[in-house]
Structure 1
Amino acid sequence: MSGKDGAGEADPDRATIDHGFVALRNQERRYALYFLLEQETASVAELADVVVGWMGASTNGMATRRERDRAYRTLVHQHVPVLVEFGIVDYDGGTKTVSMTPCPDAIREFVHLACLAETGA
């Protein structure tokens, strides 16, 4: 691919596309990204609450404290590092906050389309 998209950004390269699909492959990462797409910045605790809440809603169950704690640990040790590595989010370990980066438009569009497909919102 070559050229410019409608926003003037160069077409995404293969690595950007691969990173977008890997980021969206996991449901917990998708839910965190859906929230960050709207809020831009959130604490890991807030993301854990959102993730387990949405996962519980999809199974018609209430999230337990144990599930929330597991989601928190998984976000900190697994999902957020992947998103940081791909340049999609920044993580501040001091404040334990996650923020969307000015990542490529293609990544934001992938997240937006996945959110529409999965949640209808």
Structure 2
Amino acid sequence: MMLDEHVGSVRERIDRSCDLLSSSYRRHVIYALQADGPASVGELADAVVSAGIADEHERAMASLVHNHLPKLAEFDVVTYDGPNDEVSLDDGIAGLEPFLTTAARAETESEPRAFAEVASPDSIARNAPD
């Protein structure tokens, strides 16, 4: 691989990672999956609402189904085939490091201790797919 190609692929990875993690919806979906493992869309909507990102469960579900989960699935961060399917982390999650660890650390500094432990770098590593 030529240097220009390598630099281009690094830039693309950074751009994609920043784009995926730019949404608090997507970050909290990832945190919830890391903490609790596979979940239904409804359970993820509950996590988004309880984090204060959305006000209503139904709106959170619609946003997840029509926007956030398909985008995460497109880059193999989650496995998701439709609103009635279980959502789980996929191999693409590894490509979001160290961005995800930095975001989790920054967001959880003001969160309750239990959530901070869930989103810790050690927790992220423990719950990533093999």
Match of 2:85 among 93, 96, 110: 96
Q: Residue 91 of structure 1 contacts residue 99 of structure 1 at CA under 8 Å; is this kept in 2?
A: yes
The separation in 2 between residues aligned to 1:83 and 1:113, in whole angstroms, is 19
Report deviation, 1:116: 1.1
The separation in 2 between residues aligned to 1:47 and 1:25, in whole angstroms, is 18
- 1:42 aligned partner, one-letter code: A
- 2:22 aligned partner, one-letter code: R
Larger proportion of helix: 2
Larger proportion of strand: 1
Within the alignment, does 1:79 sit opposite 2:68 as a pair? yes
Deviations 1:10-57 (A, max 9, x none): xx733322221111111111111111122331111000000010116x
Report SS of the residue matched to 2:91. Answer: coil
Q: TM-score, normalised by structure 1?
A: 0.72
Report deviation, 1:69: 0.4
Root-mean-square deviation (CA, aligned residues, Å) is 2.4
Match of 2:20 among 20, 23, 42: 23
Q: TM-score, normalised by structure 2?
A: 0.68
| Residues 111 and 95 of structure 1: CA distance in aligned 2, closer, same or farther (over 3 Å) | same
State the percentage of identical aligned residues. 40
The list of structure 1 runs, each at least 4 consecutive aligned residues, that deviate by more than 4 angstroms after superposition, is: none
| Residues 91 and 104 of structure 1: CA distance in aligned 2, closer, same or farther (over 3 Å) | closer
Structure possessing the higher relative contact order (Cα contacts under 8 Å, 6 or more residues apart) = 1
For structure 2, list consecutive stretches of 5 or more residues without a partner in the other structure. 1-8, 110-115, 117-130
For structure 1, list consecutive stretches of 5 or more residues without a partner in the other structure. 1-11, 57-62
Tell me the residue number matched to 1:112.
101
